Amino acid sequence: MEVKENYQQLEKQFPGKVGDFKGDVPEPYCSVSPESIVEVSRFLRDDAKLKFEVLSDLTALDWPKEEKIQVVYHLYSYSNKSQIVLKVDLPRENPKVSTLEGVWKVANWFEREVFDLFGVIFTGHSDLRRIMLPEDWVGHPLRKDYVEEEEYDGISTQRAPLVEKLLR
């Protein structure tokens, strides 16, 4: 019940920017427009009643059929023991959203990971480099249509033929 109120308050506070509330699922969420994510997050953190102190998780989902990449933010309030989930829809071709580094420092690393594995550009990020993969890696592996290159730096990424033979 209280969870729903949080979302409703958010929709009232930011008309047109926050919407598409889904409440009849195990975990409710709402959509936020890409240009207002920083504003909304800052409000959620600083509001005296809501107090979402931490960014628990930041990740992305790839939906090739809908031609979109969703960046998913899990915020948590230690004071009220409640969670809020924000989703930002971005076009798959050129996914760009502002960084949340100014609101939560931890966003720096989370965003680097999403950049590395999904190729989402976080504008205004202070240090947007790959984090998991080497800098000369090609492609973003967590995208659904990612095809692994046959070799990396002269090292085969395929299974050695001998092993294949043994398995057969």
The residues that bridge with 91 in the sheet, in sequence order, are 68
- C-alpha 116/C-alpha 108 separation (Å) is 12
Instruction: Indicate whether 3 belongs to the interface with another protein (CB under 8 A).
Output: no
Q: Which of residues 128-157 bind another protein (CB under 8 A)?
A: 130-134, 141-142, 144
Written as six digits, the tokens of 19 are 């919407």
* The only residue of 5, 66, 105, 123 in contact with another protein, by rule CB under 8 A: 105
Calculated CA dihedral for residues 10, 11, 17, 20, nearest 10 degrees: 120
Pairing of strands 96-98, 121-123: parallel
Instruction: Indicate whether 47 belongs to the interface with another protein (CB under 8 A).
Output: no
Strands (E), 16-67: 18-22, 29-32, 54-63
* The only residue of 20, 27, 35, 149 in contact with another protein, by rule CB under 8 A: 27
For another protein, how many residues bind (rule: CB under 8 A)?
A: 33
Query: Which residues are near another protein by CB under 8 A?
Result: 25-27, 29, 53-57, 59, 61-62, 72, 74, 78, 81, 83, 85, 104-106, 108-109, 113, 117, 130-134, 141-142, 144
